[in-house]
Copies of this chain bind each other. A is one copy, B any other.
Amino acid sequence: MSVTMRDVAARAGVTPTVVSRVLHNKATAIRVSEATAERVRQAAKDMGYRVNVMARSLRERHTQMIGVLHGIGFARAQFDDGSRYFASLMDGIVNGAFEHGYSVTLCPKLLGQSPEDAMSDGRFDGLVWYSTFPSGENRRMLEQCSIPLVLIHTRASEFDNRFCSVVCDNDQGIGLGIDHLIGLGHRKVAFALDGRDEFGEVHERQAAFVGHLARHGIISSREDVINIGPNEAGLREYFARGCRHTAVVGPNEGVAGSFLRVAPDFGIRVPEDLSVVGFDSTAYCNEFRPRLTAISQPLVDMGRCALDLLIRNISGETLTSPQIVFPCGLDVRESTAYIAL
């Protein structure tokens, strides 16, 4: 059994009240004589006293902890598995949290079973939820949330602006990619997806793809959308029937990477025969040969921003502009080139 406040009080010859005041109540105006204070501090030190944060949290009704959740229907993101997407986001989140004196915790069973628990079981002062797909189930859950929450990669409007949200400018980002490709002479440009996430950001990016091509006078059709499918089967099928495009834009690094990986099997060279543009642009892009050109979003900054917003929320501030949109960039690497003449 560990030493409690009562123990320290006993040894110092005072009551727990005094111990609490001396040890944790620095801000308050209530004074304790320096002699007593010193006696208490010494006793605490001698006995190796530590507050019990559970008791404190129960009493004070806050925990200095924030939780990180993700939407139903997604496997837990790995820190090290292909794209550094989650790793980057988390670096921003954790750094932000630490600076504000908050811990951040990752919870099990937050996909499917009962994420709603974490939202109101007193464990967290606030939550960061990142998900690209506000399904009915997700929506229902979030609506019940009783603590501050900020969304990453979901538009605030999806939830009637009830929560703050941090997103990147998908439209502008895709525009950057399309402009780059058009500038290289490409006219037959495809959009790829893997069919797993058709409603969230991927959808937005696909719409942007169509829009920006149109801006350049190119009308894209259903034929220009390649669903690589599970295990890249759809991609192989596409290649097998002859590559009908000179460039392709993927909505993330994984999908774009599939093209780099599979193309050689069909004698297609990147970027000579096919230019490939990905999205996110984490360090993962450098692992490909050729290195993957990609539209970047400032993931670390976005995580950080989400956290700042959350802290302000927790502090009782009501944010007026519930959505922060970060502009994208374009990192030209080696997977895009002038179209072969």
Contacts and interface: CB of A to CB of B under 8 A. Distances in A.
Interface string A85-96: 011101100110
Contacts of A102: 108
Contacts of A104: 105-106
Interface residues of A, number: 51
Among A51, A78, A97, A123, chain B packs the most CB atoms within 10 A around the CB of A123
A106 B94 contact: yes
Contacts of A254: none
Contacts of A107: 103
Interface in A76-118: 76, 78-81, 84, 86-88, 90-91, 94-95, 97-99, 101-109, 116-117
A107 B123 CA distance: 15
Contacts of A86: 79
A55 B122 contact: yes
A178 B253 CA distance: 36
Among A51, A53, A99, A286, chain B packs the most CB atoms within 10 A around the CB of A53
Interface string A207-249: 0000000000000000000000000000000000000000000
Given A50-B117, A108-B98, A108-B102, A81 B76 contact: no
Given A94-B106, A103-B105, A108-B98, A122 B76 contact: no
Contacts of A282: 80
Contact of A63 (B54, B109, B300): B54
What is the copy number of this chain in the assembly?
2
A273 B215 CA distance: 52
Interface string A11-55: 000000000000000000000000000000000000010111111
Contact of A109 (B52, B91, B98, B117): B98
A2 interface: yes
Given A103-B106, A105-B65, A122 B52 contact: yes
26 contacts: A2-B120, A48-B144, A50-B117, A50-B121, A52-B58, A52-B122, A53-B121, A54-B54, A54-B63, A54-B123, A55-B58, A58-B58, A65-B105, A76-B98, A79-B88, A79-B91, A80-B84, A80-B87, A81-B91, A94-B106, A98-B106, A103-B107, A104-B106, A283-B287, A286-B286, A286-B287
Across the A-B interface, give the 7 residue pairs with the lowest CB-CB distance, nearest first: A98-B108, A105-B105, A79-B87, A80-B87, A286-B287, A52-B122, A54-B58
Given A55-B58, A79-B80, A105-B106, 8 more contacts: A48-B144, A50-B120, A53-B122, A53-B123, A58-B58, A79-B94, A80-B90, A103-B106
